[in-house]
Amino acid sequence: MSEISGHTKLIALLGSPVEHSLSPAIHNLSFAKEGVDAVYLVADVTPDTLENAIIGARALGLAGLNVTMPCKTHVLQYLDGLSPAAELMGAVNTVVREGDKLIGHNTDGAGALRAAKEAGITVSGKKVTVLGAGGAGSAVFTQAALDGATEISVFNVRDEFYDSTEVRLAELTERTGATLTLYDLADEARLQSEVAESVLVVDATRVGMPPFENESNIKPEWMKPGQAFMDTVYHPRETKLLKLAKEAGATAIGGLGMLLWQAALGEKLWLDVDMDVAYIEEKVFSEAE
C-alpha cells in the first residue's frame, strides 16, 4: 500500500456482505508478487445501490470488478456486453474494462474445470454429474457444456425453481450440443446410476459445510478409482465427500481450487497477469483446518 501512486490501477469487489471476503488477500498478494501496480478493495453494494456503483466505476476508470452475491444477476443490465459463458449462465462475477465499455464474464465454472484439469480430469467427450443448480452448480454445468461434455446430469431439490431450471437445461442442450438432464436430488437410485457413469461429479450444494460437515450426498460404495469428485465448499478444506473419495481411491478436488482458479482467470482478463496459484494457496491458506 505504501507504493500507491497516480498510476495505480484499482479493482473492486461489489456485493453484500463482503467484509470477510478472501479476495483482497488473494489478489493483493498476487499483485505484489508479480510486481503489478494495482490494488484490490471491496465495496458493500446491494442490488438497490448497484447501478450507482457501476456508474461510479465507469467515472473513476476502475480497471475491473468482481461481483458477488446478491448482485451477480442484477449487474447484467448495467453492462455493455457479455462473454458467451456469462450470457449462457445469466450471471457475472468478473467485469472487464475494454476501452470505454464494461464487459461481463463468469469465471466460476471455468475455475472449477481448470481445477479439475490440474488434477488430471478433462470433461470433453465425457459425462459429468452436478448436484445443485444454484449459482455455483449452474456455472459448472454450463461451462462443462461449453467445454465439450457430451452428457451432464443435474440433480436439484424440487423447489420453486425446479421447472424453470428444467427449461434452462433444455435451452443449453439446444445451444451447446451437450445433453443436459434434470433429476430430483431425492431420487437416490437415479443419482447412483448417473454417478457411476460420470468421470467428474461436482457437489455444489451446502452439504459439506457447517452444519452439514459430517454429511455427503454421495455414498462411498458409489465411488471408484478413475473418477473425480469435486466439492465447491472450501471450509472445511476436506469435506466428508472428499474424504470418502480419497478412501475409495478416486480423485478428490476441493473447493479451494475453484476459488483460486476463478481469481486467476480474473487477473488474466483484467491485467494479463498470470497468478502463481500454488504460491497464493501456500501463503493465504497455509493454516491447518
Q: What is the mean pLDDT of residues 10-32?
A: 95
Looking at domain 109-253, its CATH class is alpha beta
pLDDT, one tens digit per residue, over 117-144 is 999 999 999 999 999 998 899 999 999 9
Domain residue limits, the chain: 9-106+260-284, 109-253
Q: How far apart are CA 65 and CA 18, in angstroms?
A: 13
* Alpha-helical regions (H) of the chain: 23-34, 50-60, 84-89, 108-118, 135-146, 162-176, 188-196, 240-247, 255-271, 277-284
- Phi first, then psi: give them for residue 223, nearest 5 degrees: -95, 150
User: What confidence score (pLDDT) does residue 256 get?
Assistant: 93
pLDDT mean across residues, the chain: 94
Q: How far apart are CA 204 and CA 181, in angstroms?
A: 16
Of the candidates 113, 185, 176, which has an alpha carbon nearest to the alpha carbon of residue 153? 185
Q: What is the mean pLDDT of residues 201-205?
A: 96
User: What confidence score (pLDDT) does residue 239 get?
Assistant: 95
Q: Same CATH fold, 109-253 and 9-106+260-284?
A: yes
User: What confidence score (pLDDT) does residue 235 get?
Assistant: 83
- Tell me if the pTM is above 0.75: yes
Contact 102/80 with Cβ under 8 angstroms?
A: yes
Cβ-based burial of 236 (10 A; exposed 0-12, middle 13-18, buried ≥19): middle
Q: What CATH code would you report for 9-106+260-284?
A: 3.40.50.10860
Catalytic residues: 72
